[in-house]
Amino acid sequence: MNEFALARAVHVVAIVLWIGGVAMVTTVLLPATVRQVAESERVTFFERIEARFAAQSRWTTLAAGASGFWLVWQWNLWQRFLDAHYWWMHAMVAIWALFTLLLFVLEPLVLHRWFEVRARRDAVGTFALIRRLHWVLLVASLATVLGATAGVHGGLFAP
């Protein structure tokens, strides 16, 4: 296997683990929490479980970002960022940057504490907010995966 095939494989596996995990949390863990955990305990329970996934997500977003950057650099694809036909390149970077900011800065420094304080005031509303945010992240991520997969194979507004 050459280095380009390896970098692509790392990139795809990282995305599968990362976005697949977001899908599992959004479509399985959050609904199960609603059915199985008392309203007042949902945020605490969810944050305890999600902490394990957050650690995995940090590694996979790093792997996705590093492999993606390496591929753009090695294939000299910078000009694609100047062409609207390659909108999915921008979307990949935007989703990656958003998750990187969430996982490495906002969640550990701000959001964990903010959700904790907010849940003491309004446990039901806080958990509903968490669910809505996860759905927004999942839909945006899946749209990006769809666009990138079709785009790399010549579909979706290709030049």
The one-character DSSP state at 1 is -
Band of pLDDT at residue 156, cut at 50, 70 and 90 = low
Tens digits of residue pLDDT in 77-134: 999 999 988 999 999 999 999 999 999 999 999 998 999 999 999 999 999 999 999 9
Q: At how many degrees (to 10) do helices 42-74 and 123-152 cross?
A: 20
**Residue carrying structure tokens 């959001």:** 111
Burial of 25 (0-12, 13-18, 19+ CB in 10 A): buried
The one-character DSSP state at 29 is I
Predicted pLDDT at 155:
66
Predicted pLDDT at 157:
56
Q: What is the mean pLDDT of residues 30-50?
A: 93
Query: What is the end-to-end Cα distance of the chain in Å, rounded?
Result: 30
- CA 105 vs. chain centroid, Å, equals 14
In degrees and rounded to multiples of 5, residue 57 shows phi and psi of: -65, -35
Predicted pLDDT at 51:
86
pLDDT at 159 exceeding the cut of 90 = no
Band of pLDDT at residue 158, cut at 50, 70 and 90 = low
Q: Output the CA–CA distances (angstroms, integers) from residue 98 to 27, 42, 104, 151, in the order listed.
A: 20, 25, 10, 21
Q: At how many degrees (to 10) do helices 123-152 and 87-101 cross?
A: 150
Tens digits of residue pLDDT in 42-65: 999 998 988 888 889 999 999 999
